[in-house]
Amino acid sequence: MKSVKEIMTKTIKVCAPHDTVTSAAKIMRDIECGSVPVCEGKKVVGIITDRDIVIQAVAEGKDTNSVHCHDCMTTDVVTCSPNTDIHECAQMMAQYQIRRIPVTENGDILGVVAIGDLAKENIYLNEAGYALSEISEHSRFDH
């Protein structure tokens, strides 16, 4: 079985809790994704999404240059270890309705595995498809 460490992205961008949401949004723009891990040093303390920024800052009329990541981020972060089987990772994505999972060891971030990484693995295409369909199905009803 293939593990997450074999397919994860190892060169990643992260934010610090006191970074502005504008800086987080710029990272998302530059790496073309909708979420960024928030770390103190190498420790994952949260994750911030484009949706977090829109709902908790932009829609509230707040100045995104003065709102910090810690004001909007999710602190209950789903992570996996580098030895997590990619099939199990796909199941986690479906269960928690997420598209990216930080890969950690002893709380330190090592990389990120995205649903696209799973989809590239032909053996697990069905699991990745299932995870994405589960994520998409439930997100249609999120308001």
- Reference 114, options 9, 30, 2; nearest CA is 9
Task: Write down the CATH number for the domain with range 4-139.
Answer: 3.10.580.10
User: Which tens digits make up the pLDDT trace of 56-104?
Assistant: 999 999 999 999 999 999 999 999 999 999 989 988 988 888 889 999 9
Reading the block at residue 100, the tokens are 């990216």
In the block, residue with structure tokens 């990389």 = 111
Average pLDDT on 115-131 reads: 64
